[in-house]
Amino acid sequence: MITLPNECYYAIFHNLQNDYKSLFSCALVNRQCCRIIIPILWSEPRHHFKNEKLIRVLFLTLNSEEQTLLIPFKINLPNHPKPLFEYTNYITSINYYFYDGIRNWLTYKKRELEKVVICSLIAMFLRTSNSLKYLYLDDEIFCNQLVFENLYENTTVTSIDLYHEYNINYGFKSKAIDALVKILCKNSTLTSLKLISILLGIKGMEILLEALYKNTVLRSLNLRFVVEVR
């Protein structure tokens, strides 16, 4: 029997990347197939982020610093052994389905708790994933200290969609602008930026434009904001 190299198997299975059921069945064939398929299965969770079971698996990867954010809320984290694979290492994008998954997992809806859980998991993604390329964030999460620190040191993220929540206070908006400016001035790996409903004052606009002018890496900029005159 002719044995194919792993590259060939990867190319074959990659064509099934949107057929999760078939990929999962193939992963059960043998260890070789499993090692090749698991990274493909986890690369683009998309709507599977809405699955509560997946969210519980993600909690197993939190380190002590990320768990500390949750202590005041007395959340009972899963105490299962760590997964055989480092699943989060394969994830390439975090989209809005992830936020739906957090809301589905929470037994009761509390905005502050929801934000803290999201911040701890986003910080974990930035720490553990060597494949992460895209992030969908709101400005409150973006300016969380731990999230910002991990994002600032990150060398894989190339695209960010940053949106504004209308009930957020002006202090958070100001912090988000400051954080964004630091990222842009660093000339990091960020090549695509979309700002959605970000309310900027004249001063904030001037600061952002100056940072964009200095940046030499960004290739795509999509602005959907309202200038707020103060």
Enter the pTM of the model. 0.86
Task: Give the pLDDT mean for 15-41.
Answer: 88
For 49-68, how does the pLDDT look when each residue is reduced to its tens digit (9 = 90+)? 888 888 888 999 999 999 99
Lookup: tokens for 192: 């695509």
Measured in degrees and rounded to the nearest 5, phi and psi for residue 60 equal: -70, -15
The H helix count followed by the E strand count for the chain is 11, 5
Any idea which of 5-9, 146-150, 182-186, 191-195 has the lowest mean pLDDT? 5-9
Amino acid at 59: F
pLDDT in tens, 87-145: 999 999 999 999 999 988 887 767 888 999 999 999 999 999 999 999 999 888 998 99
User: How many angstroms separate the Cα of 225 from the Cα of each of 28, 39, 122, 162, 174?
Assistant: 48, 37, 24, 11, 15
